[in-house]
């Protein structure tokens, strides 16, 4: 093995980024388990909480990490994508790993590339590479709970190579990555339900009947106790000082008051999914409530400046949830500002493989923005100026197109008057650029 001290973060990232990100040619679960054995890094299943879904899985992972830390347990959390720094994907005890830890894990996986190629024909894909690095980190850093977020899908996702996790959770399902997962909610739900294991309890988002039917059927087939969570799993939802307050309905019939530190109503269900997992894992309700209240997760209707909110909604379902939350924020503004209730402005960028026309239509119909600022991201997957302009012509009445995120942000913030609201949404890549600019 080479000396990891001789490799810089820039060199490691350049190599990892050269590996294809989206490919149907993944390694099998058996092959990935073989790679983990080669690295002596197979995590202990009784520690693993496995989370899949289209939207909200990162939030649920963050809620769970905060809950377990509140309970005094060591946590390792694997999420994606990162916003600014690749280290963000690997969190231990609430903090992203240092460059030193990152490079040690990278060195081990890099050194195993040639043996892996000889045995399995190809090296790990981008996501598989990072997953293997995380497992190496878990071998080195003591932990009580390992919280795994799937990358794409679930059934064939690298994280699903761990045969029997402790508990599983599946968040809301909507149309996304249809070229890989299927073109209906039921087909996509079937891929996500692939993480449900024989005899392992599953908690799932029960807000879409089509997806819920797939989850319930799969759980029955695998003799897994199922715990559906929806808007009926809590009561008394109201907004207070920029956060949600709800009363959770517990498995034993009791109740627990929860402060959910977001203004977005969809986070109530995500918090309840985490609450239910905590109950099944023997965490006291009041401890779980304290963990939920203390959770921090960037770019999920995050207030980044007075009257400016950043949201990572990046598909049709995510934008629908974003628009509902933004509408609630707009409705709850106090009267009597300089411009009455002020204008609603939206800064939007999107990846080219998304249903961007539908996304803009949802923003128009549900939020009725006074102006939309459309822009091009640095990501190779970004929608171009020309495509943005065409989509806007078909959808919006008041808009402007900008060649870069900094320019769009400058104009949007410059035109904003006191009392106006500015929402930034459309892509986690956009959220990352905004975070980088703010830094």
Shared-domain flag, residues 275 and 409? no
Q: In whole angstroms, what separates CA 143 from the centre of its chain?
A: 22
Please check whether residue 398 lies inside any domain of the structure. yes
Domain with 412, as residue range(s), is 302-438
pLDDT, greater one: 1 or 118? 118
One domain, residues 286 and 319: no
In a shared domain, residues 186 and 320: no
**Considering only CA atoms, which of 137, 82, 128 is closest in space to residue 108?**
137
pLDDT of 336: 38
pLDDT at 321: 85
Six-digit token string for 364: 């128009």
Residue 242 lies in a domain: no
Please state whether the predicted TM-score (pTM) of the whole model is above 0.95: no
Q: Residue 339's pLDDT is what?
A: 45
For residues 119 and 184, the model is more confident at: 119
DSSP states of 102-169 as a string?
HHHHHHHHHHTHHHHHHHHSSPPPHHHHHHHHHHHHHHHS--SEEEEE-SS-STT-GGGGSS--SEEE
Confirm whether 258 is domain-assigned: no
394-424 burial: b if 16+ Cβ within 10 Å, else e: ebbeebbbbeebeebbebbeeebeebbbbbb
Q: Rounded to whole angstroms, how far apart are CA atoms 159 and 296?
A: 24
* pLDDT band, residue 375 (cuts 50/70/90): very high
| pLDDT tens by residue, 153-195 | 889 899 999 989 999 999 999 865 545 565 688 999 999 999 9
Asked if residue 72 belongs to a domain, the reply is yes
| Residues 42 and 17 placed together within one structural domain of the fold | yes
Query: Lowest-pLDDT range, 102-116, 183-197, 326-340, 410-424?
Result: 326-340
Question: How many other C-beta atoms are found inside a 10 Å radius of the C-beta of residue 121?
Answer: 10
Could you write out the DSSP letters of every residue in 25-70? -PPPHHHHHHHHHHTT-PPPGGGEEEEE-SBSHHHHHHHHHHHHHH
Residue 410 in any domain: the answer is: yes
Whether the predicted pLDDT of 35 surpasses 80: yes
Q: Do 396 and 328 belong together in one domain?
A: yes
In this structure, are 276 and 324 located in the same domain? no
- Asked, for residue 310, whether it belongs to a domain, the answer is yes
Residues 307 and 404 in one domain: yes
Distance of CA 9 to the CA centre of its chain: 24
Distance CA 375, CA 400 (A): 8
Number of domains in the chain: 2
- 318 in the same domain as 223: no
Q: What percent of the chain has pLDDT over 90?
A: 75
pLDDT digits (tens, 9 = 90+) for 339-366: 457 899 999 999 998 889 999 999 999 9
Q: With respect to residue 158, please indicate whether it lies within any of the assigned structural domains.
A: yes
218 and 316 housed in the same domain: no
The residues with which 382 forms a beta bridge, in sequence order, are: 351
CATH of the domain at 353: 3.90.190.20
Tell me the average pLDDT of the chain.
91
The residue whose two tokens read 């209707």 is 301
Helix, strand, or coil (residue 389): helix
Give me the CATH number covering residue 124: 3.40.1190.10
What does the pLDDT look like over 426-438, one tens digit per residue?
998 999 999 999 8
On whether both 94 and 19 belong to a single domain, the answer is yes
256 within some domain: no
**Co-location of 358 and 279 in the same domain:** no
pLDDT at 23 over 50: yes
C-alpha distances in Å from residue 227, one per residue of 100, 161, 167, 205, 273: 40, 23, 11, 9, 9
Judged by average pLDDT, the poorest of 26-30, 126-130, 249-253, 280-284 is 26-30
Least confident of 117-131, 182-196, 201-215: 182-196
The per-residue pLDDT for 411 is: 96
pLDDT at 439 over 80: no
Rounded average pLDDT over 294-306: 87
Mapped onto helix, strand or coil, the DSSP state of residue 324 is helix
Q: Does residue 431 share a domain with residue 340?
A: yes
Q: What is the DSSP letter of 295?
A: -
């Amino acid at each position: 093995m080479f000396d990891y001290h001789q490799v810089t973060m820039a060199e490691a990232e350049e190599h990892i980024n050269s590996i294809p990100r989206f490919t149907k040619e993944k390694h099998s679960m058996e092959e990935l388990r073989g790679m983990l054995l080669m690295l002596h890094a197979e995590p202990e299943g009784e520690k693993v909480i496995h989370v899949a879904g289209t939207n909200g899985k990162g939030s649920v992972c963050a809620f769970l990490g905060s809950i377990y830390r509140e309970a005094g347990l060591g946590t390792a959390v694997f999420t994606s994508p990162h916003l600014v720094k690749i280290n963000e994907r690997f969190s231990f005890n609430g903090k992203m790993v240092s460059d030193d830890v990152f490079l040690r894990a990278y060195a081990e996986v890099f050194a195993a590339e040639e043996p892996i190629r000889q045995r399995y024909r190809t090296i790990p894909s981008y996501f598989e590479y990072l997953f293997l690095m995380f497992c190496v980190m878990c071998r080195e850093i003591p932990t009580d709970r390992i919280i795994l977020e799937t990358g794409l899908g679930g059934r064939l996702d690298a994280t699903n190579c761990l045969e029997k996790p402790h508990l599983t959770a599946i968040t809301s399902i909507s149309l996304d990555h249809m070229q890989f997962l299927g073109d209906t909610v039921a087909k996509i739900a079937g891929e996500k339900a692939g993480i449900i294991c024989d005899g392992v309890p599953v908690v799932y988002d029960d807000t879409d009947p089509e997806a819920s039917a797939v989850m319930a059927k799969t759980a029955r087939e695998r003799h897994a106790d199922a715990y559906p969570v929806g808007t009926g799993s809590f009561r008394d939802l109201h907004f207070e000082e920029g956060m949600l307050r709800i009363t959770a309905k517990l498995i034993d019939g009791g109740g627990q008051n929860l402060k959910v530190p977001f203004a977005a109503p969809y986070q109530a269900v995500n918090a309840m999914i985490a609450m239910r997992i905590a109950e099944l894992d023997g965490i006291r309700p009041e401890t779980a409530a304290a963990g939920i209240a203390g959770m921090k997760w960037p770019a999920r209707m995050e207030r980044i400046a007075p009257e400016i909110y950043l949201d990572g909604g990046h598909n049709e379902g995510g934008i629908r949830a974003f628009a509902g939350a933004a509408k609630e924020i707009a409705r709850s503004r106090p009267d009597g500002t300089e411009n009455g209730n002020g204008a609603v402005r939206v800064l939007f960028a999107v990846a080219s493989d998304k249903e961007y026309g539908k996304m803009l239509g949802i923003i128009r119909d549900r939020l009725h923005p006074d102006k939309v600022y459309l822009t091009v991201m640095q990501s190779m997957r970004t929608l171009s100026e020309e495509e943005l302009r065409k989509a806007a012509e078909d959808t919006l009445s008041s808009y402007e197109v900008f060649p870069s995120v900094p320019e769009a942000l400058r104009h949007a913030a410059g035109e904003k008057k006191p009392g106006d609201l500015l929402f930034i949404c459309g892509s986690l890549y956009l959220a990352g650029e905004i975070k980088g600019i703010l830094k």
